[in-house]
Structure 1
């Protein structure tokens, strides 16, 4: 039996943070029903398509059900309220106050289901001067100062490769706090309202810089500190053939091993004396060999250095294959299969990997009285 078997979730969210949270809960056994506007959420229409829907929609919504509802319709709201009576968790991602205007805010919903766990995900939270401001991941990491720690330079700015705020500030805190609320409910019978602001957790990600600044008054700048590019021990160096080597030799034993392996001059091994000189010397050394040559040098050595792999290369790595990361699959409406999105749920808690999961067709869970078409839900 899966940990969340029997738990029912109503998911009013779109795009990434909330749908990924719903996917994690679904993978652990919860029954997740997406509540979509009559024309469907926008990510269904994204490109490229994989079957009738986008690959993004298929990845994030496999294993869920879908119902449609025009939340401006009294009849549809009544239908949603009837479902809430049997719901354990409600997740929504509208701007603050929108669900309340629909008569589906926490105060109204807990009158129907007093022990419900109600989770709202927004950029800046339900209150505060920024609460109503629109934004996306890049806005949240820039507004909180996280982006200022490493963004390249004026000639070549760098956009982070991960949606840190969406997943690390939205999805993960939502799942963690929903599970904490369920534990408390099991002990006390008490429901919960959870206010998740994607921007809040960005201060967690800036933990080292935040501590230095607040405690010591030493605020790191752009790429100038230990974990953001200011240290030779934590750097990315180009190879002769246009690939890159990632060095994370923070501990002295790893640094000593790395210096020996690459043949760094003794006078430059004290990386505190002149960090720029040590970085320059390592760039020259690593730039003299190809990625494959360095891969052979680092193989089996305790030096915390490796060649930067492409995502395609990493997806065929025997280590990750043996770990079972790609054992689960999804299937589209045409019967084509692809690996499921890797989610942080332990294998013993997940669904049977031998059966591929499908994303729901729009409104396929409506039943005998599907919602009539109408205007879009308010954003």
Structure 2
């Protein structure tokens, strides 16, 4: 879909390389400017999974000759992605003004936690810090327990990388229509707060409370996970009354006066305890067989390894083994076609000679 788009990515951590991986999954030519020596941060060494589908050139951005190579790359690029703290790129002489002077239609994508301005812009932080401040962490766990969401998904990926990609794609459309570049300020605090608007709409309608554990999606017995006799877990979320009725019927609880009062908040703790006791009486396989093929909205809570072998996930080819590493296929899909496996992640500097030769050829053509 993006085969005519070239993105230059400056090596960074977490959401920035995820965003450029997603663009590469969509067909963009992503060239990652790796440091000449590997990072000592766990998960950010050579041959990183998030570099799949990209090409790698190794440069030292403190060396004038290597800065000149990067600037030459930017003259032929559609977009740039950087994930440093505010001011770092400017100190390297690679801020938006300098880069847009090289390529006026460049989309300059900036990925940070706190944003390019504001009192905390210069501070360090991580996923939990950002979503804790933005409000997105508040409903992450049941009432009475410490909030803790799936690591990185709400902040780094949801509020960060995906919003950066949306911003870049929007700015690319503008650049093609007007020839004018754009600076995209993608901040995890902004994106993760924006992701809360569905819940905020429920709050405005009176269906969600500020106090945790008292709202339609974080308090009821029909909206939580339950452990089974084998220690495995089920997800239950039969919100609509028609689905809730099916849930009760499958469990033989129809006609129970307490369970029939689905939205009576005062009953939720006791009914949750009753369901917890019931589900621990049998294995997860038993309960999945009981609910199979129904609209009761009950399913397993799987690890990524188990998800890869699930019949539905396997039929869609969601999880793939590439280079001996389990990873999810590109998403979304187009025209009903399954995504093709991404090309392997490059090693640091693997394409340096190839990219330099391309630049030399471009210079010769001029």
- Give the TM bin, normalised by the shorter chain: 0.7 to 0.9
Match of 1:38 in 2: 36
Q: Mapping of 1:169-184 within 5 angstroms?
A: 169-184=159-174
Greater mean alpha carbon deviation, residues 84-93 or residues 14-23: 14-23
Query: Matches of 2:126 and 2:289 in 1, distance apart?
Result: 41
Match of 2:66 in 1: 76
The counterpart of 1:269, out of the listed 254, 260, 265, is 260
The counterpart of 1:320, out of the listed 310, 313, 317, is 313
The counterpart of 2:118, out of the listed 108, 112, 128, is 128
Match of 1:362 in 2: 348
Distance 1:223 1:343, change over 3 A: farther
Query: Matches of 2:194 and 2:252 in 1, distance apart?
Result: 37
Structure 1 position 342 matched with structure 2 position 332: no
**CA shift for structure 1 position 31:** 1.3
Greater mean alpha carbon deviation, residues 283-292 or residues 214-223: 214-223
Match of 2:301 in 1: 308
Match of 1:159 in 2: 148
SS in structure 1 opposite 2:309? coil
Structure 1 position 290 matched with structure 2 position 288: no
Match of 1:85 in 2: 75
Distance 1:330 1:218, change over 3 A: closer
Q: Mind listing any 5+ residue stretches in structure 2 that lack a counterpart?
A: 357-366
Distance 1:316 1:5, change over 3 A: same
Instruction: Encode CA deviations 1:306-354: one digit per residue, 9 max, x unaligned.
Output: 2323332211112222213246x633xxxxx445532324256999837
Structure 1 position 253 matched with structure 2 position 242: yes
Structure 1 position 223 matched with structure 2 position 213: yes
Could you tell me the TM-score, scaled by structure 1's length? Answer: 0.83
**CA shift for structure 1 position 92:** 0.3
**CA shift for structure 1 position 42:** 4.2
More RCO (CA 8 Å, sep 6+): 1
SS in structure 1 opposite 2:32? strand
Answer yes or no: is the 8 Å Cα contact 1:140–1:199 preserved in 2: yes
SS in structure 2 opposite 1:315? helix
Answer yes or no: is the 8 Å Cα contact 1:58–1:358 preserved in 2: no
Q: Mapping of 1:223-242 within 5 angstroms?
A: 223-228=213-218, 230-242=219-231
**CA shift for structure 1 position 46:** 3.7
Distance 1:151 1:255, change over 3 A: closer
Instruction: Encode CA deviations 1:234-282: one digit per residue, 9 max, x unaligned.
Output: 1112222322221110001001111121123233320333222222222
Structure 1 position 330 matched with structure 2 position 322: yes
Match of 1:103 in 2: 93
**CA shift for structure 1 position 100:** 1.0
**CA shift for structure 1 position 296:** 1.3
Answer yes or no: is the 8 Å Cα contact 2:56–2:350 preserved in 1: yes
CA RMSD of aligned residues (A): 2.8
**CA shift for structure 1 position 74:** 2.2
**CA shift for structure 1 position 4:** 1.5
Query: Matches of 1:104 and 1:353 in 2, distance apart?
Result: 35
SS in structure 1 opposite 2:109? strand
Instruction: Encode CA deviations 1:47-67: one digit per residue, 9 max, x unaligned.
Output: 9xxxxx66xx43211221212
Matched residues, number: 351
Query: Matches of 1:26 and 1:252 in 2, distance apart?
Result: 43
Answer yes or no: is the 8 Å Cα contact 2:111–2:186 preserved in 1: yes
Match of 1:280 in 2: 273
Query: Matches of 1:167 and 1:210 in 2, distance apart?
Result: 21
Distance 1:218 1:271, change over 3 A: closer
**CA shift for structure 1 position 135:** 0.8
